[in-house]
Amino acid sequence: MKMNKLKLLVFVVLGSLQLANAQKAPQLGKASVDEVIQAMTPEEKVELLVGPGMPGYAGLVPLEGEPDVRVLGQAGGNEEVKRLGIPKTVFADGPAGLRIQPKRQNNPNTYYATAFPVGTALASSWNTDLIEEVGKAMGEEVKEYGVDVLLAPALNIHRNPLNGRNFEYYSEDPLVSGKIASAYIKGIQSHDVGTSVKHFAANNQETNRLSVNAHISERAMREIYLRGFEIAIKEANPWTVMTAYNKIDGTYASANEDLLIKVLRNEWGYKGMVMTDWFGGYPGFAAINEKGSVSDVIAQMEAGNDLLMPGTKAQKEALLKAIKEGKVDVAAIDSNLRHILNYILKTPTVENYKYSDNPDLKAHAEVTRNAATEGMVLLKNKEKTLPYTNKSGTVALFGNTSYDFIAGGTGSGDVNEAYTVSLLEGLKNAGYSIDQDLEKTYVPFVKAATEKEMKRRAAEGLLTAVQRIPEMPLAKEMVTEKAVSSEVAVITIGRNAGEQHDRKINNDFYLGQDEIKMINTVSDAFHAEGKKVIVILNIGGVIETASWKDKVDAVLLAWQPGQEGGNSVADVISGVKNPSGKLTMTFPIDYNNEPSAANFPGVPANDPKEVFYKEGIYVGYRYFNTFNVKPSYEFGFGESYTKFEYSDIAFSNNNFRDEIKVSVKVTNTGNVAGKEVVQVYVSAPSKMLDKPSEELRAFGKTKLLQPGKSQKLTFTLKAKDLASFVDAKSAWIAEKGTYTVKIGASSLDIKTAKNFNLANDITVEKVNNTFDLDVDMETLKN
Ligand code: BGC
């Protein structure tokens, strides 16, 4: 009895001691962030600064089967510190929708997400209101599946058409990239969940992406590779930024003070959280498992890379040692912790939000179906081949991809959607009859080949290179028969790519022999019967078109249009929707016309360690237009089922002071309703500095204009829109002289132009001297 009383007493004392201790520890959300940081032990700091690791990492598979994660298939999240009330939060990819595992063990529910059009497809709509709507739909899925941050948008510049991840990105132009990203962020974050703009910055290739050293001039960094991020960060304030893998002028992006402190924090005033890309700062994925191998955690911390993702044991040990031995700047550590904690405080997790696991997938299917049609680009439409409204005869459907449409790319940019509507299904849904013999031969052929390819990919893991399924051989006699029995031929050309691998020049950028043969055979046979051939491009990036486009009657660039793809294409083919997308990049005649062709993906060719951005600022149309290189389809190009006239260009004033307003009237002069993308280019004086012949400085899209109807669009040009970066002065300067505003339907199809004058040079912004080249490199000059 006595003994029991004693025990009880001990328990009570111990218990109240523990309680007192717990009460003493400040709790996140109750105490101030600084009090929480002050209460942290070095071990706890490290727990928060370095992510919890990536279980099942061995082959870089997602977290499937991990019992410990809240959302199966999440890409990661921060570690918790229970004592201080700091919870784990959840990050998931990005960017074509939410990438999580659709099924969980011993659980009958499904967790499919909507596969929206890929980044390039969205951007090609040039419609920021539409992108914001897409963002809202995506954001609802993020929130309702219990995720705090979507690892998107991705807005690296299309420096070269072979980049395997261009499909995730928006454009060769920073203004388009920045504006589209802003709209996307605003849409998602309207649900009080976060985004992560990535990959900051200059992650323009996949070959040796973790280690390649990109030599880039400061001017090209500022005008081309950073500008889109600058716009997105200033206009939309993403909760987080993800640093790129690559080095910039000798320093890893994740350890780059110029990038993260001087530019991002000090110049742009960014207050959010910065995290690495997964294992950023390691020279390669293989190195992560090597004993003793660790990224330079001190440099990463001191450069303001707040959080190392997904985190490794070695990084934790190295950082703990550095903190304990006073080898890392305490102020930097505390500032990083502050960013992380302030981020956590905003999350639904901290709010204890009760997510439903039941987002409105049905409504979002409509959103993606519609968004995809707006991003489709009509490249060619001879004699009004499209819209094709004849539903009485049969359509002869060729090309493997017609029967197995590609919704989006691979790798972390993939989405686990419940279904993808093929072109076959989409055309049938729209009431077209499809040739049955072709369907009967194609369907099993494609099914068997796809299963084989999917098995291979599953065995090789998330980051394996995609292999295109060779086209089913077509006997000439069979095609001739079909040309007699069908009314029209539709051929789909498909491409897929993704993380870790760049695309190839042959049999990828250029069509394969099998594809050329298919186009030739089908076109010859159908044209002999006086029937038309329509090509659908189900691709994620630029391909060669000049050598074959004359052989066919219409070319519709459908991109990788998301899970409703077949329906979306059918909406355009049938004329339910008038395509209004325009190219956000140049389609060159020849790969070697690309200004970066000789310097991609770097040297030595068999294992590139360095890449020289010798084209400088002359990326995409800035090069093609300035140096008069004729493209197959230029930046900004896209046809419509109707026609538009531009008139009444007017300025608010003829001499520039703080800004100038430019307006133009656009009239639909054709026979069907349509929308027009209006592009505002500016040619600037170039006495102080060489400049591109013109640069996109604003754009807009009309509402749906009925035939005969007009709309006046007004654009505001500010001093920064006239300025170029003058390296010698570390400043953005608008040079005095005459400026020409060119309003066009594309970068080469200028409809109307007008000059204004700037009386004196304006130094728009003085900035830090950054990004010194680590080698001697001449860049291209005009
Ligand atoms: C990709 C990122 C992605 C991350 C997490 C990396 O390999 O580069 O874009 O967000 O993995 O999945």
pLDDT score for 714: 98
Measured in angstroms, how far is the CA atom of residue 277 from the centroid of ligand 1?
Answer: 6
Q: What are the E-state strand segments in 548-630?
A: 554-557, 587-588, 610-612
- Report the distance separating Cα 599 and Cα 19, nearest Å: 64
What pLDDT, in 10s, does the model give residues 139-168? 999 999 999 999 999 999 999 999 999 999
Residue range 198-217, pLDDT digits in tens: 999 999 999 999 999 999 99
Residues forming a β-bridge with 377: 557
Identify the CA nearest to 226 among candidates 188, 197, 255: 197
* Contacts of residue 55, Cβ cutoff 8 Å, sequence gap at least 6: 63, 66, 68, 69
Q: Is 99 in the pocket of ligand 1 (CB under 6 A)?
A: no
Say yes or no to pLDDT of 316 above 50.
yes
pLDDT at position 23, please?
Answer: 59
Q: How confident is the model at residue 14 (pLDDT cuts 50, 70, 90)?
A: low
Contact 357, 525 (CB under 8 A): no
Q: 100 C-alpha vs ligand 1 centroid, how far in Å?
A: 13
Task: Over range 549-572, report the average pLDDT.
Answer: 98
pLDDT of residue 63: 42
Ligand 1 pocket: which of 195, 309, 499, 502 to mutate (most atoms within 8 A of CB): 499
β-strands 251-252, 247-248 pairing:
antiparallel
In this prediction, what percent of the chain has a pLDDT beyond 90? 91
Closest of 658, 660, 695, 664 to residue 677, by C-alpha: 664
Tokens 């793809």, residue located:
565
Mutate to test the pocket of ligand 1, among 150, 203, 245, 278 (most ligand atoms within 8 A of CB): 278
Token duo for residue 92: 């998931």
Position 429 pLDDT exceeds 80: yes
List the residue whose alpha carbon is closest to atom 4 of ligand 1.
Answer: 278
DSSP string, 726-763: EGGGTEEEEPSEEEEEEEESSSS-EEEEEEEEE-S-EE
528: buried, middle or exposed (CB in 10 Å: 19+, 13-18, 0-12)? Answer: exposed
Residues found in the chain: 782
* Residue 154 DSSP class: B
Residue of the nearest CA to atom 2 in ligand 1? 277
User: Residue 551 gets which letter from DSSP?
Assistant: G
Query: What DSSP string describes 476-527?
Result: HHHHHHHHHH-SEEEEEEE---BTT----IIIIISPPHHHHHHHHHHHHHHH
Residue nearest (by alpha carbon) to ligand 1 atom 5: 75
Give the Å distance between the CA of 411 and the centre of ligand 1.
Answer: 8
* Whether residue 120 has pLDDT greater than 60: yes
Eight-state DSSP code of residue 582: -
Residues β-bridged to residue 538: 494
Amino acid identity, residue 357?
D
Residue 128 has pLDDT above 80, yes or no: yes
Q: At 186, which amino acid appears?
A: K
Hey, what amino acid is at 60? L
Q: Is the pLDDT of residue 20 over 70?
A: no
Closest residue by CA, ligand 1 atom 3: 412
Diameter of the chain measured on Cα atoms: 108
| Tokens 């519709």 found at | 556
Give residue 294 CA to ligand 1 midpoint distance, Å. Answer: 19
Q: What is the pLDDT of residue 541?
A: 98
- 128-144 and 174-189 are packed helices; what angle lies between their axes, rounded to 10 degrees? 40
- The rounded distance, in Å, linking the Cα atoms of 99 and 111 is 10
Question: Ligand 1 pocket, 667 CB below 6 A?
Answer: no
Ranking 59-63, 179-183, 404-408 by mean pLDDT, the lowest is 59-63
| Known active-site residue 277 | yes
Residue 101 main-chain phi, psi, to 5 deg: -75, 135
Mean pLDDT over 601-610 rounds to: 97
**pLDDT digit string, tens, across residues 24-47:** 899 999 999 999 999 999 999 999
Q: Is the CB of 691 under 6 A from ligand 1?
A: no
Q: Which residues contact 245 (CB under 8 A, 6 or more apart)?
A: 199, 203, 209, 210, 211, 252, 253, 254, 277, 280
Cβ(275)–Cβ(17) below 8 Å: no
Q: What distance in Å separates the CA atoms of residue 422 and residue 494, rounded to the nearest whole number?
A: 12
Between 72-81, 246-255, 395-404, 590-599, the lowest mean confidence (pLDDT) is in: 72-81
Task: Examine the pLDDT at 384 and tell me if it is beyond 90.
Answer: yes
Report which of 261, 93, 166 is spatially closest to residue 501, judged by C-alpha positions: 166
Inter-axis angle of helices 565-573 and 361-374, to 10 degrees? 40
Phi, psi of 386 (to 5 degrees): -110, 150
Torsion angle of C-alpha atoms 703, 704, 708, 712, degrees rounded to 10: 0
Is residue 277 lining ligand 1, measured as CB closer than 6 Å?
yes
pLDDT band at 66 (very low <50, low <70, confident <90, very high): low
In the reported structure, the alpha carbon of residue 686 is separated from the centroid of ligand 1 by a whole-number distance in angstroms of 40
Model confidence at 292, pLDDT cuts 50, 70, 90, reads confident
Q: What is the pLDDT of residues 457-507, one digit of tens each?
A: 889 887 889 999 999 999 999 999 999 999 999 999 999 999 999 999 999
Type of residue numbered 339? H
Q: For residues 558-573, give the mean pLDDT.
A: 98
CB-CB contact of 489 with 483 (8 Å):
yes
Rounded to whole angstroms, how far apart are CA atoms 307 and 712? Answer: 47
Lowest mean pLDDT among 92-96, 377-381, 410-414: 410-414
What is the pLDDT of the chain when averaged over all its residues?
95
